[in-house]
Amino acid sequence: MPSFDIVSKVDVQALDNAVNVTSRELANRFDFRGSHLLIELDKKTFQLKLETEDDMKMGQLLDVLVNRAHKQGIAPEAFDMSKEGSQSGKIWRKEVKVRNGLAQEEAKKIVKLIKDGGLKVQASIHEDLVRVTGKKIDDLQAVIQQCRGANIGVPLQYVNMRD
């Protein structure tokens, strides 16, 4: 029986490349020259620690980071910017979490979306992925199109297509 998996994964190497390119680009920019700038990536927890001198530079840093990550193949929705930055003396700090894996409530939204679609497929949650099985590959491709059209809030990848 044909099946595929819906996952939300971020490639660590691509994220590391985006961070390195961002730090190099901002170090060469005129408006950042001589100012405090720190971008650290914790590869185990997928956490970015950002530091700049003021709020305006923090916004520019985030814009460049998301742009460079998008060019590396990481969707902008992968960055959780909901946590506000804080100021400590002259330094603005912000922690940005990178979403890696499907949370339980996001997986439930995907399963509900698939079941509401009315196609003859079964969707089941396995830890941090959703497995979709059906009798026809055309139905599975319709599910992929349906998920791409929906705004779930996390970047989705479709892997492990089996016949």
The secondary structure of the chain as a DSSP string is --EEEEE----HHHHHHHHHHHHHHHHHSGGGTTS--EEEEETTTTEEEEEESSHHHHHHHHHHHHHHHHHTT--GGGEE--SPPEEETTEEEEEEEEP-S--HHHHHHHHHHHHHTT-SEEEEEETTEEEEEES-HHHHHHHHHHHHHS--SS--EEEEEE-
Last residue within a domain, chosen from 66, 98, 130: 98
Q: Give burial (CB, 10 Å; 0-12/13-18/19+) of 158.
A: middle
Residues 6 or more apart in contact with residue 90 via CB below 8 angstroms: 36, 53
d(CA 127, CA 151): 21
CATH number of residue 106's parent domain: 3.30.70.860
Provide the domain count of the chain.
2
- pLDDT the model gives residue 51: 93
CATH number of residue 82's parent domain: 3.30.70.990
- pLDDT the model gives residue 71: 95
The full 3-state SS of 35-58, as one line of letters, equals CCCEEEEECCCCEEEEEECCHHHH
- pLDDT the model gives residue 130: 92
User: What would the two tokens of residue 59 be?
Assistant: 């916004």
The residue segments making up the domain with residue 151 are 3-8+102-162
- pLDDT the model gives residue 74: 92
The alpha carbons of the chain give a radius of gyration, in whole angstroms, of 19
Which amino acid is located at 139 in the chain? D
Residue 90 sits in the same domain as residue 147: no
Residue 135 sits in the same domain as residue 149: yes
**How do the pLDDT tens digits run along the chain, 163 residues long?**
899 999 999 999 999 999 999 999 998 989 888 888 999 999 999 999 999 998 899 999 999 999 999 999 999 999 988 888 888 888 999 999 998 888 898 999 999 999 998 889 999 998 889 999 999 899 999 999 998 888 888 888 899 888 8
